[in-house]
Amino acid sequence: MTGDKDKSEGRSARPAKDLRQDRLKLALRENLKRRKSQARGRDDVTIASSNSDDVGPHDGSGKNPGK
């Protein structure tokens, strides 16, 4: 009878650890996806701003629009 009790405790402890590992894996995977998406967004902004023909706020004209 005590052998059955030990087996059931082992089963209940193992799935809890597995569930935690699964949660951590999912969290890491989602974090990686989010970071990749953010990096792609930053790359798109960088490419768009470097290819634009618009004159930036520092166009080198020497004029101070606020003064």
Stronger pLDDT, 30 or 1, i.e. the higher one: 30
pTM confidence score: 0.44
Burial code (b: 16+ CB inside 10 Å, e: under 16) for 23-33 equals: eeeeeeeeeee
Query: What string of DSSP letters covers 7-35?
Result: HHHHHHHHHHHHHHHHHHHHHHHHHHHHH
Q: What is the pLDDT of residues 10-54, one digit of tens each?
A: 556 678 899 999 999 999 999 999 999 999 988 877 666 555 555
What is the domain partition of the chain in residue ranges? 1-48
Distance (Å) of CA 29 to CA 1, 25, 32, 35, 36: 43, 6, 5, 10, 11
Tell me how far apart the alpha carbons of residues 18 and 1 are, in angstroms, rounded to a whole number: 27
